Amino acid sequence: MQIIDGKLVSETIKTQLAEKVLELKALGKKVPHLAAILVGDNPASETYVASKVKSCAEIGYNSTLLRFDAQISEKHLLDQIIALNENPDVDGILVQLPLPKHISEELVINTIDPGKDVDGFHPMNVGKMVSGLPTYIPATPYGIMLLLEYYQIPTKGKHAVVIGRSHIVGTPMSVLLSRNAYPGNCTVTICHSHTHNLKELCLQADIIVAAIGRPNFVTADMVKEGAVIIDVGINRIPDATKKSGSRLVGDVDFAAVKEKASFITPVPGGVGPMTIAALLKNTYYASQGEKVKLN
Ligand SMILES: Nc1nc2c(c(=O)[nH]1)N[C@@H](CN(C=O)c1ccc(C(=O)N[C@@H](CCC(=O)O)C(=O)O)cc1)CN2
């Protein structure tokens, strides 16, 4: 069994991007600029946005963080996005999700200029991804594709089971795994809350992508010997032995499942850091007026 080291791969990608920034600077060109919008005080969102801003600084990107309290009106938020769309210095825009209930995520995403939508959530970019055209690919699925490629994990003809059908992870992941290229060419099954024979399907899977948001949901008895396990879950559970009183676990029972897996991502240190690295790659492409073209 091999543990997929997302921290290592993300650091490698960040080093490559930092080199590209130095090249831009040497040519007297502008460095990539990411604008992040954070609404409210969700502690997890605060951590993720802080990590995005810190990563930008580490590799030499400019970043702008716009913070608003949870009561911001939808109209005011949309006006801020429009201003960023019109700001020629800003290459990439992201609005950290989730948003407070009174704000339509759909409207917010649709307001971001598709050319600056480095999260790849705009319907125009989703459509391009589904059509196999160069575009911005949502950061978590993009990060997973980069991990599969880095570890040269065979995917052609494999049965991939994706647990979860969110717009951020499950749905794009299923599109990418079934595309006609490497990584891809999988036969994909998407499972969700109405899937009755989940265990049976998982037992047939060569690759499982768990993105359901339930701690330790995938147990060893659901996994075939030699399966590749990609854990997207980030769940904080109580742990009295920790100073903080809690610890982070994925959607997979890592300790037991690793005994059966050929490759497995840990939590933390697996998919999470790759989400940031993939966002930074998208931002670089946006700054160059390019889109991501997977192999
Ligand atoms: N606008 C967006 N919102 C959200 C996205 C997204 O891609 N765009 N994805 C998630 C959260 N997310 C990025 O925003 C994200 C989640 C986890 C990590 C990460 O590095 N996790 C670490 C653990 C961090 C911790 O201690 O809590 C790991 O797994 O090692 C980065 C980014 C929802 N919202």
Predicted ipTM of the assembly: 0.97
Atom of ligand 1 nearest to the CA of 97: 3
Measure the CA–CA gap between 260 and 251, rounded to whole angstroms: 16
Same structural domain, 148 and 101: no
Question: Exposed, middle or buried: residue 47 (CB in 10 Å: 0-12, 13-18, 19+)?
Answer: exposed
Q: What domain range is 42 assigned to?
A: 27-120
Residue 5 lies in a domain: no
Residue 292 lies in a domain: no
Which residues contact ligand 1 via a Cβ below 6 A? 47-48, 51, 94-97, 119, 139-140, 168, 234, 248, 267-269, 272-273, 275-276
CATH of the domain at 49: 3.40.50.10860
Give me the pLDDT at residue 292, please.
77
Cα dist from 278 to 28, 57, 140, 141, whole Å: 25, 16, 7, 9
Measure the CA–CA gap between 192 and 165, rounded to whole angstroms: 6
Same structural domain, 143 and 263: yes
Same structural domain, 205 and 237: yes
Measure the CA–CA gap between 135 and 293, rounded to whole angstroms: 7
Residues of the binding site = 164-166, 234
Per-residue pLDDT tens over the stretch 151-172: 999 999 999 999 999 999 999 9
Q: 7: which 2 tokens? A: 């921290």
Per-residue pLDDT tens over the stretch 208-238: 999 999 999 999 999 999 999 999 999 999 9
Name the residue at shortest CA distance from atom 10 of ligand 1. 97
The letter for the amino acid at 2 is: Q
CATH of the domain at 219: 3.40.50.720
| DSSP E strand boundaries for 25-172 | 33-39, 62-68, 92-95, 159-163
Kindly report whether the global pTM for this prediction surpasses the value 0.90: yes
Give the percent of the chain with pLDDT over 90.
98
Count how many domains the chain has: 2
Same structural domain, 93 and 148: no
Same structural domain, 146 and 87: no
Measure the CA–CA gap between 184 and 99, rounded to whole angstroms: 32
Same structural domain, 269 and 145: yes
Give the percent of the chain with pLDDT over 70.
99
Give me the pLDDT at residue 290, please.
85
Residue 62 lies in a domain: yes
- Cα 120 to chain centroid distance, Å, stands at 10
Answer whether 251's CB lies under 8 Å from 210's CB. yes
Same structural domain, 262 and 197: yes
Residue 219 lies in a domain: yes
